Structure 1
Amino acid sequence: MAPRTLRSAEDLHAAGLIPAAALAAAGRVGARYSIAVTPAVAGLIDRADPADPIARQYVPDAAELVTAPHESADPTADAPFTPLPGVVHRYPDRALLKPLLACPVYCRFCFRREAVGPDGGVLGEAELEAALGWFARTPAVREAILTGGDPLMLSARRLGEILRRLAAIPHIELLRIHSRVPVAAPGLVTAAMAAALDLGKPLYLCVHANHAREFSAEAQAALRRLHGAGVVLLGQSVLLRGVNDSEAALEDLFRAMLRARVKPYYLHQLDAAPGTARFAVPVAEGRALLRGLRRRVTGLAWPTYVQETPGGGGKVPLGPVFEA
């Protein structure tokens, strides 16, 4: 029998990812926030390491049920900037299209963790038509960004249709996709999927990865396939306690990206979603890490360290500042 995605506390226990003593707590977490660990991700986890950085990203923890006073169900304030279902328009020249709210894996620090899940579904036909119509009649928008959920969870046919519709809009100059699929479920990056992304307009794919080990041989093959289709690959990561909160871990991550033809683009300060405090790294510490990293890596490996501003004000760079 082919390996399957682990979707419950019982699945995680059977796979050796949580002990019996943690079953009840993981079950309570799973009742509120979705669980999914793909075979590709499960194969990366060191079961002998209780602090494994891959497991920490995906395996539920009882601390997720404790909401800190500063945490919010909508930390990026998508709701006030949603003119209709599936569209978020925060910046004048670009807008998000969320065609679905399902992902191959569910990160324990996700800023949309209140919304995403296997039951998140896809936009209905009428909703999708309305969203595409909004893009067509909003000439200020020059970049369409597909996110969700994970757009590469759609079939190649469906994703290709959406991208072609957007690319046919004259004022849309750039297309972008945000995805975990190439590292979390690389088998979904088929020849048909790569062909669907081969468009006449520039297409950028932002690969979300937080640790160097996520760039497995299978992930690298998937990324080579996308690169061969003319997709420009960018990397985005979140600074996470216990995952990549050291100069060495960040250096390894960004070097792994470059080896996989992925240009590090953003390093995000953690968004304060409910139950994510255990991942938080203070901004001052993040700046110190980036300052030290600058001496260790090529400029090609240097991302912009960013944070969402309160109330949906958008991303701002956090530095660090260097003395001349």
Structure 2
Amino acid sequence: MYLENHKSWKDWKWQLKNRITTIEEVEKVLDCNFNEDKKKVLKKTIEKFPLSITPYYLSLVDASDYDNDPVFKQAFPQVKELEVCRADIEDPLGEEDDSPIKGITHRYPDRVLFHVSNVCAMYCRHCTRKRKVGDKEYNPMKEDYEAGFKYIESHHEVRDVLLSGGDPFLLSNDLIDYLLERLSKIPHVELIRIGTRTPVVLPYRITEELVDVLSKYKNLWINTHFNHPKEITEEAIEALDKLAGCGIPLGNQSVLLANVNDCPRIMKKLVHKLTANRVRPYYLYQCDLSEGLEHFRTSIGRGIEIMESLRGHTSGLAVPTYVIDAPGGGGKIPVMPNYLMSWSTNKAILRNYEGVITTYEEPNEYAQIACDLECRTCHLQLKLDKKDNIKSIGIEKLLSDNSEIITLTPIEE
């Protein structure tokens, strides 16, 4: 690559300043030419969904076969992005509806997503937040952060805060430190998570100075976003090693993408490389229904097939949970192969990954415990304070012994 020998190549700020943002720059780097008709349509695509690739990430593309390259497909626009299909939704996860104040998404009872950055190192073509790509109108200010902190402080049920964006690691070290320190001072916040793709597209961002900041916070977890084993380069491994080396637990969230990683062998190689570098595969997402992403979406059946190739065939630690993030804000729904085949009063019939069918006999002596959620008469040795009780909702409420609700009735809009 023509920039790869630049003296500042490993400077993450230089990488950001020299991001590739035009079709012509891509042609120059890959030494290729797109015909004029295609370029005209591609330029219309990037007018709506901007192009931005770090020199590092583009250097991973196989220029001799770029059309089939998994890195190229994730980074370079396609004409199909302009095709809005019937099922496509601008805000597929209903994040705006679940946003009580600007920058906070509160969907689940005990956790919130804190939108702290609107900038990414690279614009991924499969991004679920394509509506926000390149949007300069909302760049959080200190007053926005303070409003978020006040919301979290006033909601004692929130024990888990996910910093997201954009990419939180595109903020300065001082600002990241400020955010983490401020959250750590909130007594009921037990867990802080950061979602970042910088180890994938900008591994040089993981500097010793950044690690020094992160290592101060013992309740911090980091989730990365590797989609293909080709992305786990020597530079990426070095970045992961810095993070894991200071004791930060690492997870990974992949998206199942057609003609990128929708292959059992590719996915198995990816989870093996992740676990070899102390990264726990956490989620495998079905691609969301964002506008212009249908060409990336696979069938759910393909995802189930991939999961069948992992469970039992490799370490349980390397098997992610396959989920669909329900359209409209329903949250993550696990979609996994069926291992429980049938169930009677005394036995459960199960099958394993090989197709072996077996039985598990239920205990004869188990006495059902009726729970009123008050803990006054319970002999289990965990006495919870009243403030620890969170109002049950959904299926949990139907199962609860202290609820008289016997049906859930959908509300028609």
Match of 1:160 in 2: 177
Please point out which of 223, 235, 245 is paired with 2:262. 245
SS of 1:237 mapped into structure 2: strand
The change in CA–CA distance for 1:281 and 1:170 in structure 2 (over 3 A counts) is: same
Match of 2:224 in 1: 207
Q: How far is 1:26 from its partner?
A: 2.0
Match of 2:78 in 1: 61
Match of 2:25 in 1: 11
Deviates more, 1:171-180 or 1:227-236: 227-236
2:257 matched to 1:257? no
Please point out which of 139, 147, 153 is paired with 2:164. 147
Contact preservation (8 Å) 2:45, 2:77: yes
Match of 1:268 in 2: 285
Contact preservation (8 Å) 1:68, 1:277: yes
> Can you list the C-alpha shifts for 1:245-280, whole angstroms capped at 9, x where unaligned?
011010111111112210000000110111111111
SS of 2:30 mapped into structure 1: coil
SS of 1:20 mapped into structure 2: coil
How many matched pairs?
324
Please point out which of 28, 33, 39 is paired with 2:44. 28
> Can you list the C-alpha shifts for 1:84-143, whole angstroms capped at 9, x where unaligned?
111100001000111111101111111101112273653012111111111111111000
Match of 1:47 in 2: 63
Please point out which of 143, 147, 150 is paired with 1:133. 150
The change in CA–CA distance for 1:120 and 1:6 in structure 2 (over 3 A counts) is: farther
Which amino acid is 2:48 matched to?
R
Contact preservation (8 Å) 2:180, 2:217: no
Please point out which of 221, 226, 245 is paired with 2:243. 226
Q: How far is 1:292 from its partner?
A: 2.0
Cα distance in 2 for partners of 1:129, 1:166 equals 10
Contact preservation (8 Å) 2:324, 2:335: yes
The change in CA–CA distance for 1:250 and 1:305 in structure 2 (over 3 A counts) is: same
The change in CA–CA distance for 1:15 and 1:149 in structure 2 (over 3 A counts) is: same
Which amino acid is 1:8 matched to?
T
Cα distance in 2 for partners of 1:120, 1:51 equals 35
TM-score relative to the length of structure 1: 0.96
Cα distance in 1 for partners of 2:43, 2:221 equals 37
Match of 2:387 in 1: none
SS of 1:300 mapped into structure 2: helix
Match of 2:187 in 1: 170
SS of 2:87 mapped into structure 1: coil
Match of 2:54 in 1: 38
Which amino acid is 1:226 matched to?
L
Deviates more, 1:17-26 or 1:208-217: 17-26
Contact preservation (8 Å) 2:168, 2:195: yes
Q: How far is 1:5 from its partner?
A: 1.3
Larger radius of gyration: 2
Cα distance in 2 for partners of 1:73, 1:234 equals 28
Q: How does 1:107-118 map to 2 (within 5 A)?
A: 107-117=124-134
TM-score relative to the length of structure 2: 0.76
Which amino acid is 1:20 matched to?
F
Cα distance in 1 for partners of 2:137, 2:243 equals 26
Q: How far is 1:319 from its partner?
A: 0.6
Which amino acid is 1:204 matched to?
W
Contact preservation (8 Å) 2:289, 2:327: no
Deviates more, 1:61-70 or 1:284-293: 284-293
Contact preservation (8 Å) 1:104, 1:150: yes
Contact preservation (8 Å) 1:102, 1:121: no
> Can you list the C-alpha shifts for 1:157-202, whole angstroms capped at 9, x where unaligned?
1111101100110000000011100111011111111111123432
The change in CA–CA distance for 1:52 and 1:76 in structure 2 (over 3 A counts) is: same
2:106 matched to 1:78? no
Cα distance in 2 for partners of 1:115, 1:278 equals 20
Contact preservation (8 Å) 1:86, 1:98: yes
> Can you list the C-alpha shifts for 1:49-70, whole angstroms capped at 9, x where unaligned?
1211111111101110001110
- RMSD between superposed Cα atoms in Å: 1.5
Which amino acid is 1:208 matched to?
H
Identity of aligned pairs, percent? 34
Deviates more, 1:172-181 or 1:125-134: 125-134
Contact preservation (8 Å) 1:257, 1:263: yes
Contact preservation (8 Å) 2:45, 2:81: yes
Which amino acid is 2:34 matched to?
A
Cα distance in 2 for partners of 1:222, 1:149 equals 19
Cα distance in 2 for partners of 1:17, 1:76 equals 39
Q: How far is 1:227 from its partner?
A: 1.1
Which amino acid is 2:21 matched to?
R
Which amino acid is 1:221 matched to?
E
Contact preservation (8 Å) 1:10, 1:23: no
Contact preservation (8 Å) 1:215, 1:260: no
Q: How far is 1:294 from its partner?
A: 2.3
